Structure 1
Amino acid sequence: MNADISILDLFLEASLLVKIVMLLLLSMSVCSWAMILQRSKRLKAALREADEFEDKFWSGNDLSRLYQESKTRKDSLTGTEEIFYSGFTEFGRLHKSNAASPDFIMEGTSRAMRVAVGREVEELETSLPFLATVGSISPYIGLFGTVWGIMHSFIALGQVKQATLAMVAPGIAEALIATAMGLFAAIPAVIAYNRLTDKVSKLEHSYANFSEEFHSILHRQAMAGKE
């Protein structure tokens, strides 16, 4: 075996099935890295936007004025501001026709905010199932390529009268690259999935807390309207 043989040479000399496995793993790795970068950027922006809006919300601004500011950008609202807008819109709609029924008003308002929270979390979780899939199946795809490559090498070895290590080593080496590529695709995907899932959980918890606090504020307003 030539000690200077490159990974590219091993790939070119591999069997067709092993090549397909390697290309599949490479494609999965590229896609997962693209999703990792995109989701990391999106979650970072979501955390920043949540902090900025909550600072504005708790700064003492009039809720009606804050609502009107959000209304001018209603098609581009995200995160905590979208939850606020959905809750306040439903509260205002129900309060006009059911001012004497605060429980009915708050039930509808709470439902609207829960739906908004669910939509926001669903958007934040985009691509995470793909990362989980890559992390779980890539090693097995790589192992399949390795087993096939080694099997192919030993079959070829059995067809010669005098077997040497130099004859079988290249085939085994090219097969083991498939396992290495499987791990190369899986490890970053698993790490990123765990980190991004943790960030989504923190945001979901933040959204839920804001919804409860905003619900309490609106409930006091509904009771005051009844009185």
Structure 2
Amino acid sequence: MIPMPSTLLATVVEPLPQEAGQAVGDALGQASELAAASGDFSILELILHASIPVQLVMLILVFASVASWVIIFRKKRVLDRAEREAEQFEERFWSGTELNKLYAGATERNRAVGGMEAIFEAGFREFGRQRQRRGIDSRTQLEGAQRGMRVAASRELDDLEQNLEFLANVGSISPYIGLFGTVWGIMVSFHGLANMKEATIATVAPGISEALVATAMGLFAAIPAVWAYNRYATKVERIGGRYDAFADEFASILERQVQD
């Protein structure tokens, strides 16, 4: 056994001073309070305690997000119906039904036509109108039908593209609106430190958290809008190509009828 030095044996462990013990207790109390506060973290509380400009930014982003989702669901229903109606009309058109019967069905009373059927109706109506005029050659008749189909196709595509511009604007502008709210909130938080003698991370953390919520809301509004715009714009372009192909094929059929 190694003998201990006499100086170490004679050393007496003294308790900490009262001030030091009180400081340790205060530090532990602050840590527990911060832990409790972090446990009560709520997005709603951050929004309610944010400054007025930041709250206005959040309100704008909420409105943009809600409007975007409404347009997304409506536009999906419109585009799906356009594709379904195009398929159904193409089946009737290529089934061997006479053009006069198809035109009579498209011009029935109390029946709204749209999409590919509207293009057919416009082209066949203009073709019949040109044929009734005297002294009109076959080329002029065909050009009139093609012009009528182009106008009808342009009108149908305009209806399909409606509100897509709003989705594009929300997708491109929302992140910058959220960033503006974040910058403003952080600026207000640091401006409030000027009146404080001692500044800690706990002092500026709530203000910065409130400001960062604006950026998160901007991304929440922008991401679905960008995704929907890209998807629906591609779908509209595909439907437009389908309309153009049908118009060319129908024009070829009318040209053969003129030559016969």
| Shorter-chain TM-score tier | over 0.9
- Kept after mapping to 2: 8 A contact 1:95/1:222: no
How many angstroms apart in 1 are the aligned matches of 2:215 and 2:180? 8
Off by >4 Å, runs of 4+ in structure 1: none
Aligned pair count reads 224
Question: Which of the numbers 231, 237, 251 marks the counterpart of 1:201?
Answer: 237
- Kept after mapping to 1: 8 A contact 2:68/2:225: yes
Could you tell me how far 1:75 is from its partner in structure 2? 5.3
**Could you tell me which residue of structure 2 aligns to residue 77 of structure 1?**
113
Q: Deviations over 1:24-63 (max 9, x none)?
A: 0000000000000000110001000000000100000011
Amino acid at match of 1:32: S
Could you tell me how far 1:100 is from its partner in structure 2? 5.2
- RCO greater where, 1 or 2, for CA within 8 Å and sep 6 or more? 1
* 1:33 maps onto 2:105 in alignment: no
Amino acid at match of 2:174: S
- Kept after mapping to 1: 8 A contact 2:130/2:136: no
How many angstroms apart in 1 are the aligned matches of 2:70 and 2:89? 29
Structure 1 residues 69 and 155 mapped into 2: Cα distance closer, same or farther (>3 Å)?
same
Could you tell me how far 1:99 is from its partner in structure 2? 6.7
How many angstroms apart in 2 are the aligned matches of 1:123 and 1:58? 26
Structure 2: gaps (5+ residues): 1-33
**Could you tell me which residue of structure 1 aligns to residue 187 of structure 2?**
151
How many angstroms apart in 1 are the aligned matches of 2:212 and 2:53? 14
What is the aligned-residue RMSD (CA, Å)?
A: 1.1
**Could you tell me which residue of structure 1 aligns to residue 58 of structure 2?**
22
Could you tell me how far 1:5 is from its partner in structure 2? 2.4
Question: Which of the numbers 105, 117, 121 marks the counterpart of 2:157?
Answer: 121
Amino acid at match of 2:208: I
Structure 1: gaps (5+ residues): none
- Kept after mapping to 2: 8 A contact 1:106/1:219: yes
Amino acid at match of 2:58: M
- Kept after mapping to 1: 8 A contact 2:171/2:222: yes
Could you tell me how far 1:223 is from its partner in structure 2? 1.8
Could you tell me how far 1:220 is from its partner in structure 2? 1.0
Question: Which of the numbers 165, 187, 212 marks the counterpart of 2:223?
Answer: 187
* 1:111 maps onto 2:160 in alignment: no
2:198 partner SS: coil
- TM-score (ref. length: structure 1): 0.96
**Could you tell me which residue of structure 1 aligns to residue 205 of structure 2?**
169
How many angstroms apart in 1 are the aligned matches of 2:50 and 2:144? 63
Amino acid at match of 1:78: G
Amino acid at match of 2:57: V
Bigger Rg, structure 1 or 2: 2
Q: Deviations over 1:178-221 (max 9, x none)?
A: 00000000000000000000110010000000000000001111
- TM-score (ref. length: structure 2): 0.84
**Could you tell me which residue of structure 1 aligns to residue 79 of structure 2?**
43
The percentage of counterpart residues that share the same residue type is 53
How many angstroms apart in 2 are the aligned matches of 1:123 and 1:100? 33
Question: Which of the numbers 168, 177, 182 marks the counterpart of 1:132?
Answer: 168
